Amino acid sequence: MKQLLLLLVTLSFFGSYAQQLDVVDFREIRANLYISPENKTVEGGLQVKFQMLKDADSVYLDAVNMGRVSLDEDYENMRVEADKDKFWLIGQFKKAREYEIFFTYRAKPKQTLYFSGDQIWTQGQGKYTSHWLPSIDDMNDKIEFDLSFLVESDKRVVTNGALKSLTVREDESLVVWNFNMDQPMSSYLVALVLGNFSKKTIQSESGIPIELYFKPEDSLKAEPTYRYTQEIFDFLEAEIGLPYPWQNYKQVPVRDFLYAGMENTTATIFSEAFVVDSIGFNDRNYVNVNAHELAHHWFGNLVTETSGTHHWLQEGFATYYAHLAEKEIFGEDYFYWVMYQSAEQLKELSDQGKGESLLDPKASSLTFYEKGAWALHVLSEKIGDEAFRKAIRSYLQKHKFKNVSTEDFLSEVRSSTTVDISEWEQDWLQQTAFKEMQAYNSLSESEFMDQYFQVSTLRTGQLSEKKDLLEEAIANGNDFIGQEAVYQLAGENPFVSHDLYEKALDSDNLYIRQAVAISMEGVTERLKPKFERLLNDASYVTIEAALFSLWNSFPGDRARYLDQTESVVGFQDKNVRQLWLALAIITPDYRMENKSEFVQELREYTGASYSFEIRQKAFEYLAELQLYNDAVIDNLVNASVHHNWRFRNGARNMLEQLSEDTEVKMSLKDRLEQYSENEKQYLISKILIE
């Protein structure tokens, strides 16, 4: 999984699970399911194959709040009983025998299966699949899942494995999508997406079909969103040295997703925020997440951690291989820059005394992801690429479709090299502190990083003394070195910084110009013409920042700037459009006849028919402009019970603040009966308390 914020590692409750693992091996789960969007329920049949490792009179499947509907009578004296988080399979089970059982069930999941707009999607990691599909929470029992879904004919199904058949029902309103997996996996990797999608299929060099999904209205964004997908796939197969181990690969963006992406086997789900056009690609693209989730198909899906102690074997590896893929695409300087950024964050954590061991199951995502990547980078430099690749290959080969611990990886490393790695183990696996000297020594091998460090050490110097060096850095044309030089101009005397800003604005490099847009405080008359050109730059970050700066600096030209940018929407969260509306609303005398439409549009963006990224921005602008009305407050109440906790928490904070106003509070009280049960419960328990 690639998360934007804290990862809570799920600890396995080893006591009870270890017992069941010793008793039974679940082999196959076939499910035929119908999901009702109206009732938000799942129902259908489950056929389960398992082999006994010991004699026993009961085994269980994890199944949270599910009811058994029926049991086929033919199953020789077996019974199925439901309790609050399990289905118990009861019978006289004999060691070494294989059993098969069929029963139907019904569930109304409170989490894991989400209904968002006209999409339905799941998020199974840590151990949540059992909220909608009876399965095994313990990652150590790998199962072959073959799933079928009965679906309205206008929807597409994305799930694990290869589509075996599509059967249209007699009345043509429903279709059965029948999928097959060839190999077993841990239950948290089961996934389902239902929605209205278009699809483009490409093929890897090795012949694996790669299906790229997108909403029909986003057809022009499909190319930039999925840019470099085949390069990433071919690169990872070659670099890892073991062929992609699954039948096919699919990627699908969904609305209101909880994380950046999730590596469900053969069916990666990612956040719609990464759906971009060619301009958006320059600022915010899917390349890193694309590579990260694909890398998990070896590191995590093929070989899976035995417990949270070894979580870095998944996240550290996926992060490192994603960095390598980016190096292949964007070049070596980019690779070193990304490693430098993570080293700075790790150093800060470590300097605060909060450094974490990679083997701490409660470590933060920064440790699992980035310290894990650093550990692998340093290891590969220490033992050499050849030995590193050999170790990776034999580690995957030996443990494929099984579970692994850190020791399993280390023993392959030790047998692939004569170099002693015990100090590395101490420094990078055991130590809580970040080994910054080792990291910076590695970084300074790069000529680019060396040049960058020379410029960044000028930060505290007088502008008059470093002017020539900064000018050279801007002329150098490197993204990061040029940006660093521009950032050092902020707050300096404009008479001295002017020339340099002018050079930066004349630069061929989009990112150097962008640095001016986002860091220059107040645009001067002299720079105005060059700064105005930024409104046409191929970057939504630049356009948003430049529009605001120009609007702020030149009140007489506001109408002209607004007219010029009226048709720009920006990223998926409509960043430019929403800023535009806010500015158009508060600009005196601008389009008086349309003002109320502008307010209306901004208010509409807070509604549940938009993604949480759009809604969040709209709530913020409306709060700033004090343009909340009852409809917006209703949308805020709705947002305060949203499944995305970051969005939900933001909405709750805003609602709490607003309701300090007694009038708002009274009006919420008056409308209480019109809210949903969830919303009402939240209002009563947190907002309307006396």
Q: Which is nearer to Zn ion, 218 or 315 (CB)?
A: 315
Minimum distance from residue 236 beta carbon to Zn ion (Å): 14
| Sheet with 24-36: strands ordered across | 66-71, 98-107, 41-52, 24-36, 144-152, 174-180, 162-168
Nearest CA-CA partner of 409 in 430, 424, 431, 394: 394
Q: Which is nearer to Zn ion, 365 or 542 (CB)?
A: 365
Minimum distance from residue 288 beta carbon to Zn ion (Å): 11
Minimum distance from residue 152 beta carbon to Zn ion (Å): 32
Instruction: Specify burial of residue 242 (Cβ count, 10 A radius: 0-12, 13-18, 19+).
Output: middle
Minimum distance from residue 545 beta carbon to Zn ion (Å): 31
Kindly report the length of the chain: 690
Minimum distance from residue 249 beta carbon to Zn ion (Å): 16
CB under 8 Å to 294, separation ≥6 — which residues?
Answer: 232, 233, 236, 249, 263, 268
Q: Which is nearer to Zn ion, 1 or 512 (CB)?
A: 1
Q: Which is nearer to Zn ion, 66 or 318 (CB)?
A: 318
Nearest CA-CA partner of 547 in 507, 509, 508, 587: 587
Minimum distance from residue 366 beta carbon to Zn ion (Å): 13
Interacting residue ranges for Zn ion, rule: CB under 5 A = 1-2, 315, 318
**Torsion angle of alpha carbons 451, 457, 459, 462, nearest 10°?**
-100
Q: d(Cα 35, Cα 16) in Å, to the nearest integer?
A: 31
Token readout for 321 is: 């291989």
Minimum distance from residue 292 beta carbon to Zn ion (Å): 6
Q: Which is nearer to Zn ion, 44 or 300 (CB)?
A: 300
Task: Give Cα separations from 137 to 13, 85, 126, 186, 585 (angstroms).
Answer: 10, 11, 8, 8, 52
Minimum distance from residue 600 beta carbon to Zn ion (Å): 41
Q: Which is nearer to Zn ion, 1 or 294 (CB)?
A: 1
Q: Which is nearer to Zn ion, 303 or 618 (CB)?
A: 303
Q: d(Cα 304, Cα 511) in Å, to the nearest integer?
A: 39
Minimum distance from residue 305 beta carbon to Zn ion (Å): 12
SS3 annotation, 498-514 = HHHHHHHHHCCCHHHHH
CB under 8 Å to 194, separation ≥6 — which residues?
Answer: 35, 119, 120, 121, 149, 151, 155, 156, 157, 158
Q: Which is nearer to Zn ion, 137 or 263 (CB)?
A: 263
Q: Which is nearer to Zn ion, 89 or 318 (CB)?
A: 318
